[in-house]
Amino acid sequence: MRILIVGCGYVGLELGRRLTASGAEVVGLRRQGDPDGTMAAAGIRAVRGDLTRPEDLEAIPGDFDVVVCTASSNRGGADAYREVYLGGARNLVDWSRRRRLGRIVSVGSTSVYPQSDGSWVTEASPAEPTGQTGQLLVATEEVFAEAHRSGVVPTQVVRVAGIYGPGRGHLFGRFVAGEARQDPDGGRWINMIHRDDVASALEAVLRRGQAGRIYNAVDDAPVRQGDFLRFLADATGLPLPPAAEPRERQESPGPAPARQRGTSNKRVSNRRLREELGWMPRFPTYREGYAEAIAAVVSGTWASAGASA
């Protein structure tokens, strides 16, 4: 298999590692190329290029069995979403008219589900967000869906929950720094997934997924914000954060995708990925997923750098 990972960053690099280990030829695209040599170390061939520039895609040599798009807007607002996600999707689909691409797998977000009643949502639930960034993500999904329906290129979308893992975990970082606050009434449901499980979910979808289909990638254990903080306090011995002041409750700190989830309150189901593709998360819940970081906090070796990335 020859695979292109567009936006080969936190998740893309881990996916690339898995794919090269299984014998695939992997090319990774980033605007900065491979500044720290991590792609080369993972056996990924780095190409410098910008998804938002069609000419940069044209310059990538060869055809691909799969293109996985894991590029991120780097937290930006609606303009960045429009440029990177929507514009990037259009560029990839256009490019596929001139290349042989077996399929495109696009990473989306569970922030497209606007439900606010704490209910379970599946891929069949309405995805009609009210916020501008959420609507841009839906429009991006639609570009890929239309490309599939019209026979331009088979596509799949993987809606990913809040990603944590080595060096990442926004609420965890705030908790350890003593900056977290408990939301009122137990808080919203948080849906999470470890970086390594995002990578294995993407691999399952690209190898066994049905074209034209959407898959949620999330762990087994949505957790209320207050319960998560209580778990962290028990596990680390650090104090339980105080309740948020009324003014703080209006704000929902965090990177853009998390902010997007700020108004919604739902539990996202991974049943389709598990039952249709046999996907099994290595970290079924935050308890296993955060065990290493918690042990580092307890032993005093935890480094906060990048945790809020």
Ligand X SMILES: NC(=O)c1ccc[n+]([C@@H]2O[C@H](COP(=O)([O-])OP(=O)(O)OC[C@H]3O[C@@H](n4cnc5c(N)ncnc54)[C@H](OP(=O)(O)O)[C@@H]3O)[C@@H](O)[C@H]2O)c1
Contact residues for ligand X, defined by CB under 6 A? 7-12, 29-32, 50-52, 70-72, 74, 84, 107, 109, 160, 162-163, 257
Dist CA 195 CA 293 (whole Å):
14
To ligand X, the closest distance from the beta carbon of 158 in angstroms equals: 9
Shortest Å, Cβ 266 to ligand X = 14
Give Cα 155 distance to the centre of its chain. Answer: 17
C-beta of 160 vs 232, nearer to ligand X: 160
Cβ 89 to ligand X, closest distance in Å? 11
Output 44 or 238, the one with its CB closest to ligand X: 44
In whole angstroms, the minimum distance from the beta carbon of 52 to ligand X comes to 5
DSSP assignment of 178-239: T---BPGGG--EE-EEEHHHHHHHHHHHHHHPPTT-EEEE--S--EEHHHHHHHHHHHH-PP
CB-wise, 52 or 285, nearer to ligand X?
52
Instruction: Name which of 154 and 162 has its Cβ closer to ligand X.
Output: 162
Q: Nearest-CB residue to ligand X?
A: 9
Query: 151 CB contacts (<8 Å, ≥6 apart)?
Result: none
For residue 265, the minimal CB distance to ligand X (Å) is: 17
- Which pair of structure tokens corresponds to residue 279? 């996907």
Q: How far apart are CA 260 and CA 229, in angstroms?
A: 21
Q: Are 241 and 180 in contact (CB under 8 A)?
A: yes
3: buried, middle or exposed (CB in 10 Å: 19+, 13-18, 0-12)?
A: buried
Between residues 112 and 238, which has the closer beta carbon with respect to ligand X? 112
